[in-house]
């Protein structure tokens, strides 16, 4: 099985199918053999105890997704399933060579950068009457209109503008041709299964096929398709089109911000060689061994953390005889989506405090 991962264009795979269940298996294998990144298991119990308390106090929860002013607060399935799909089709590569001059979107009197610049640009376009979330429109959109949607308040353009345009228009054409012109059809076909939705999306939409090779073995990472499921889950509060019976099979979303947060928490450690490269700002090629180690070890460290938190929660919910303390209470569940959202927000909100921990720089379409 060979995965070829060009840094700035579509990805070509000889692998026929991409399954959600492959992610943890392949990432654990990388974590156990990685040369330059270490999952710090000895620090997991302390972090797990802290995050367990935050989870129980509702300091972070699924409800936080809707609370951001740019996210839909009252979701409508007829509009926001396609909205989420466009967001996650374009949700990649927002870091800049010059952090003081970023791609910035001016929307409703506020300036937005990073991931939020994408959301602000899409919402601004909709406010202007541009049907940017309607596949029949964006499948035929011209580059001039797309460039207008992503106009910047600074002299720095959105990274990979033409690549984003190519991916979005191609994605729109597939939805029109195969799915009645809406991503709602894909969600309906998945029938509340995250695993089926991952399969549908990776089977039909090439830019979501996020895998690599490490030591001549395939590694599934699947960041954008998993966050697509998670965003539907968050947008609809785990109900209706956001209800997935197997939602806990989703892993964390291996990007460049969460690994920074994991290093800060003491759950990941880079060796001296990798640290030197990152501190110098050296670009890591998409699919390179160093980049795969960072991403795969991040996924596995969050899984180890999740399992530890869940064991702590389960232990608290039973008495000394092994019976549930409150028979009417619903089991408290910690999944990787909640942990990823929390760590991402923590790292983003404390960017200055975490500035000494470099993010890895990879210019590509997967994150």
Report how far residue 278's alpha carbon sits from residue 359's, in angstroms, rounded to the nearest whole number. Answer: 7
Q: Give CA angle at 20 (15, 24), nearest 5°.
A: 100
Report how far residue 232's alpha carbon sits from residue 71's, in angstroms, rounded to the nearest whole number. Answer: 11
Residues 6+ apart with CB under 8 A from 209: 3, 11, 13, 15, 18, 202
- Closest to 341 measured CA to CA, from 53, 69, 45, 55: 55
CB 27 within 8 A of CB 253: no
Q: Which residues pair with 269 in a beta bridge?
A: 38
Report how far residue 41's alpha carbon sits from residue 300's, in angstroms, rounded to the nearest whole number. Answer: 10
Question: For the chain, how many residues are written?
Answer: 367
Question: Of the listed 82, 88, 255, 340, which one is catalytic?
Answer: 255
Cα–chain-centroid distance for residue 273?
27
**The dihedral formed by the CA atoms of 107, 113, 118 and 124, expressed in degrees to the nearest 10:** 10
CB 300 within 8 A of CB 27: yes
Report how far residue 219's alpha carbon sits from residue 104's, in angstroms, rounded to the nearest whole number. Answer: 34
319 counts as catalytic: no
Q: Which residues pair with 3 in a beta bridge?
A: 13
- Closest to 364 measured CA to CA, from 3, 1, 10: 10
Residues carrying an active site annotation = 255
């Amino acid at each position: 099985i060979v995965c070829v991962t060009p840094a700035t264009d579509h990805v070509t795979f000889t692998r026929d199918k991409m399954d959600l269940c492959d992610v943890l298996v392949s990432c654990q294998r990388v974590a156990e053999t990685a040369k330059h990144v270490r999952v710090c298991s000895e620090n997991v119990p302390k972090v797990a105890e802290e995050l367990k308390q935050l989870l129980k106090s509702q300091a972070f929860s699924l409800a936080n997704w809707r609370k951001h002013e740019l996210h839909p607060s009252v979701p409508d399935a007829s509009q926001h399933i396609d909205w989420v799909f466009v967001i996650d089709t374009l949700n990649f590569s927002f870091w800049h060579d010059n952090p003081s001059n970023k791609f910035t979107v001016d929307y409703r009197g506020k300036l937005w950068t990073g991931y939020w610049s994408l959301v602000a640009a899409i919402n601004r376009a909709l406010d202007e009457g541009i049907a940017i979330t309607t596949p029949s429109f964006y499948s035929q959109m011209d580059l001039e209109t797309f460039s207008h949607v992503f106009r910047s308040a600074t002299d720095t353009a959105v990274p990979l503008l033409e690549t984003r345009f190519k991916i979005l228009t191609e994605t729109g054409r597939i939805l029109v041709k195969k799915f009645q012109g809406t991503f709602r059809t894909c969600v309906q076909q998945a029938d509340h299964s995250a695993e089926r939705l991952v399969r549908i999306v990776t089977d039909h939409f090439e830019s979501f096929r996020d895998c690599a090779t490490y030591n001549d073995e395939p590694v599934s990472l699947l960041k954008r398709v998993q966050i697509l499921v998670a965003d539907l889950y968050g947008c609809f509060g785990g109900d209706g089109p956001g209800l997935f019976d197997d939602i806990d099979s989703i892993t964390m979303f291996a990007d460049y911000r969460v690994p920074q947060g994991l290093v800060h928490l003491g759950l990941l450690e880079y060796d001296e060689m990798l640290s030197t490269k990152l501190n110098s700002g050296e670009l890591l090629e998409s699919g390179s061994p160093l980049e795969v180690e960072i991403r795969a070890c991040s996924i596995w460290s969050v899984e180890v953390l999740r399992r530890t938190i869940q064991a702590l929660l389960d232990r608290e919910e039973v008495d000394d005889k092994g019976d549930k303390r409150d028979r009417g209470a619903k089991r408290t569940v910690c999944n990787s989506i909640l942990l990823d959202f929390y760590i991402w927000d923590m790292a983003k909100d404390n960017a200055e405090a975490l500035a000494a921990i470099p993010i890895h720089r990879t210019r590509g379409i997967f994150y």
